Amino acid sequence: MPQKQNVKYLARKMTACKHLLLLALLPLLVIAVILALLPFQFQHVLQAVYLKQDDSLAQKTMLTIMLLVIIYFFSSFVGQYWIRKTEYQLSLDIYNDLFNKLLYLPTWQYASLDKHLVMETTLSCTREVARATLHVITVLMRDALALFGLIVCLAYLNKEFVLLVCILIPFAFLIIPIITGQQSRKNGAWSQAIGNQTAKLADQLQYIFENFRHIRLFGGQQQEYRQLADMAQSIMKGNNQQDNYKAFVRSLCLLLLFLIIMAITYLMLQQMLEHALTLDQAGALLTAILLLITPLRRLSEVPRLLQQVRDSLKQLAILLDLPSTSIRDTEKQIQIRGKLVLEDINIFDQRKTPYLFNLTVEAGETIVLVADDNALRMLIIDVLLGFHSPATGKIKLDDHPYPEIEATALLAQFAVISRAPVILSDRVAGNIAYGCTECTHEASMTKIAQTTGVSEFVREMPEGLQTRVDKSGASLTAKQWQLIAIARALLKNAPLLIIDDLWPRQPADVSGDVFKTLKHTMRERTNILLLQAVPEYREGIDRIYIVKNGAVTALNQD
């Protein structure tokens, strides 16, 4: 999204947190008032000690200062508490948007997505946007108020002096970022040039590593050495120039700051000698000036923080701008018997080989699609589930064209069982009732577990169905994971069942528990088996199709 849209997006998120920000504003306002009052309290201390020599007044004033400092730190804690709470809420809102986006991407997008970029953006940029944004808001609220209060304090103490301070404040905004090490635009351009030269050096080294045989064969070591040395010298020269420039500018700024301090000191001494400024007023003015330094330093960091926010928002926009399927599908209930029609469906595998499907699977039939290419089988599954649109043709479910069926309603008609373990939760029960955990009763889950044979091995586990399982799948055997997959499909009770490579490979496997449970689950459903090879055991199979080399051929079973 463009930069303006990024800002609007962040503004919408901040608007949702406005109540928390208002709660943070009150303690920050108290902090600003306390900072404006402290110079007057120090003035009273100096009056009591040096002018009036009143011990009682000095003690009362010191107690007042202590009380103000205590209130200051308490208000600072309360303000930071609400700011952190706002940061937490803002981060959570952005996380929710990212998670909704990532969970509803088109299926083709997952294959091309940079997983490292997703992790870096989701974990780092989200927190950076929230942290930097709230830091900017905190500085603008707290330090701008403090700066205003201290200027009012200075104006009350000495009107001529405050004019000088107001004139010097813009210079302070220019000087402080340089002194504290924030880079100027020129330094940024220099750094970019040095980075480009470093990248060229890395490319040259990679070139040498890849072509070392020819370099040695033709005696090009010295030539490459000179080229590498020239590149390294150019990089070091650029680094030295950048360091010298930064040192010169920093020294110049320090000198300018010293001259400003000397000018302020001279003005104060001159007014004291002319009796236009008393000792207590001078002390109060000096206190106010010292208290100005921290707000000025924080306010000078705002441009850098805003740049961090812009950079992080750009990274977030890469994910937020990804295309997505509909998130708010309302699941319209449709009655499906299980008839599936593929009419002139044309799909392309990874080698761009076209496959034309013309199939009609009646409700309750079982067909086999034999494809030895795993990627092709996954593509067929995606087409059947509506995740991938075919190049041409129509798919109908009980005479309902796919485009007329809402996504959630379409997916509700299918269940998938795979030979390979599919681990969706960290508990056995969560893997069985995945996607419908909140609406599944323990009794129905227990019945499914008994029907599929899952209860046989779950009974031996320490916490039964609530036993935690390893995300890698090592805590259960392949057979146990297959039974859990069958239980998950049986619990969903969809009219169409897609079975990926889970079928007896040898006649001896027919007597196994997995196949018996699978046959029970396949009853009264439309079953589509996707297998790597033509099955030897064909009982219950109505038709077999070979999907290979761009052809979809029916196998004669006679």
What are phi and psi for residue 204, nearest 5 degrees? -65, -40
Spatial CB neighbours of 127, under 8 Å, sequence gap ≥ 6: 91
In the sheet with 400-401, reading across from the earlier edge strand, the strands are: 354-361, 340-348, 392-397, 400-401
pLDDT in the model for residue 120: 74
Tokens read off for 374: 């795993």
| DSSP E strands, 323-364 | 340-348, 354-361
- pLDDT score at 445: 82
* Cα 71 versus chain centre, distance: 38
Distances, alpha carbon 259 to alpha carbons 28, 177, 265, 483, in Å: 33, 18, 10, 82
Cα 284 to Cα 160: distance, rounded to the nearest angstrom: 15
DSSP state of 47: I
What radius of gyration do the chain's Cα atoms show?
37
Distance CA 108, CA 151 (A): 60
Per-residue pLDDT of the chain (558 residues; tens, 9 = 90+): 567 888 888 889 999 888 999 999 999 999 999 999 999 998 888 888 887 888 888 899 899 999 999 999 999 999 999 999 999 999 999 888 888 888 888 777 777 777 777 777 777 888 889 999 999 999 988 889 998 888 888 888 877 777 777 777 777 767 766 666 554 444 556 667 777 788 888 888 887 877 777 777 777 888 888 888 888 888 888 777 777 777 777 777 677 777 777 877 777 777 777 777 788 888 888 888 888 888 888 888 888 888 888 888 888 888 888 877 654 444 456 788 899 999 999 998 888 889 999 999 999 999 999 998 898 999 999 999 988 888 899 999 998 999 888 888 888 899 999 988 888 888 888 888 887 755 566 778 888 888 888 888 888 888 888 888 877 666 788 899 999 999 999 998 899 999 999 888 777 777 778 888 999 999 999 999 999 999 888 888 899 999 988 888 888 765
Query: φ and ψ at 471, to 5 degrees?
Result: -65, -25
pLDDT of residue 473: 62
Tell me how far apart the alpha carbons of residues 406 and 397 are, in angstroms, rounded to a whole number.
Answer: 12
The pLDDT, as a whole number, for residue 177 is: 67
The DSSP bridge partners found for residue 428 are: none
Alpha carbon distance 497, 344 (integer Å): 22
Instruction: Give residues with Cβ within 8 angstroms of 70, minimum separation 6.
Output: none
Could you tell me if 76 and 27 are in contact, meaning their C-beta atoms sit under 8 angstroms apart? yes
Q: Is 393 helix (H, G, I), strand (E, B) or coil?
A: strand
Among candidate residues 436, 555, 552, 426, the one with its CA nearest the CA of residue 489: 436
Q: Do residues 331 and 408 lie in contact, with contact meaning Cβ atoms separated by under 8 Å?
A: yes
Taking the C-alpha atoms of residue 113 and residue 239, their distance in angstroms, rounded to an integer, is 36
Sign of torsion over alpha carbons 325, 330, 332, 336: positive
Alpha helices in 104-125 (DSSP H): 107-112, 115-120
Closest CA to 419 of 329, 338, 498, 359: 498
- Which residues are CB-neighbours of 76 under 8 A, at least 6 positions away? 27, 31
- Give, as one character, the DSSP assignment of residue 17: T
CB distance 352 to 530 below 8 Å: no
Give the number of C-alpha atoms closer than 13 A to the C-alpha of residue 453, restricted to the C-beta side. 16
Under 8 Å between Cβ of 458 and 464 = yes
pLDDT at 185: 45
At residue 329, the pLDDT reads 46
What residues are paired with 354 via a beta bridge? 348
CB of 122 within 8 A of CB of 319? yes
pLDDT of 328: 47
Task: Enter the tokens of residue 357.
Answer: 């499907």
pLDDT of residue 558: 58
